Structure 1
Amino acid sequence: MAGIDISHSHALPPQRARAALDDVAAKLAQRFDMRTAWDGDRLTFSRSGVDGAIDMQPGLLHVTAKLGFLLAAMRGPIEAEIRRVLDEKFS
């Protein structure tokens, strides 16, 4: 399985960072039929072909994902879109 591992710094207070991640989760669920759930400060997401999480830490988000065979071929564009969304929501 191909993987994605992104660290993204931010300056949002915890409540605003969590609200922004809730917005991201809603869009993932709507656009890609992802299942999302909070486990403490970790937002997990999954669907056929991808399992991942966004760990929320003070000043840092850490995105990890395992991509299945079909999505592994699109790792570059997927990673670029994740970075774009993080920049949009957390910069």
Structure 2
Amino acid sequence: MADIDIHHPHQLSMAGARDAVQQVADKLIERFGVDCRWQGDVLGFSRAGVDGTISLQPGEVQVRAQLGFLFAAMQGPIESEIRRVLGKHFG
């Protein structure tokens, strides 16, 4: 198993940050068939080989994920893509 833990600052309101995370979640659902669910200010996501959360806090978003065996080999490119998407949605 490989772990991802990324902290990214943002200047959005909590409502704006939640909308941005929902846009990301909608893409994950569409492209990868990921199951997503909100619990407070935390979006949980999962599919075979990946389990994680996107947590919202004032001024910061945190992405945590556990990658299964097959995805662990692609940890670097996955982290790079997460950082790119966070930069796009959260500046």
Structure-1 residue corresponding to 2:83? 83
* Unaligned runs of at least 5 residues, structure 2: none
How far 1:77 moved relative to its partner? 0.3
Deviation sequence 1:35-75 (CA, Å, 0-9, x none):
00000000000000000001100000111000000000000
Work out the CA distance in 2 between the residues paired with 1:15 and 1:2.
31
Structure 1, unaligned runs of 5 or more: none
**TM-score in terms of structure 1 length:** 0.99
Counterparts of 1:36 and 1:81 in 2: how far apart (Å)? 19
The within-5 A match list for 1:32-43 is 32-43=32-43
Paired letter, 1:19: D
Q: What is the match of residue 44 of structure 1? A: 44
Residue 58 of structure 2 corresponds to residue 58 of structure 1:
yes
Shift of residue 6 of structure 1? Answer: 0.2
In the alignment, which residue of structure 1 is the partner of 2:4?
Answer: 4
Q: CA RMSD in A?
A: 0.4
Q: Name segments (4+ residues, structure 1) moved above 3 Å.
A: none
Length-normalised TM-score, structure 2: 0.99
Percent identity (aligned):
57
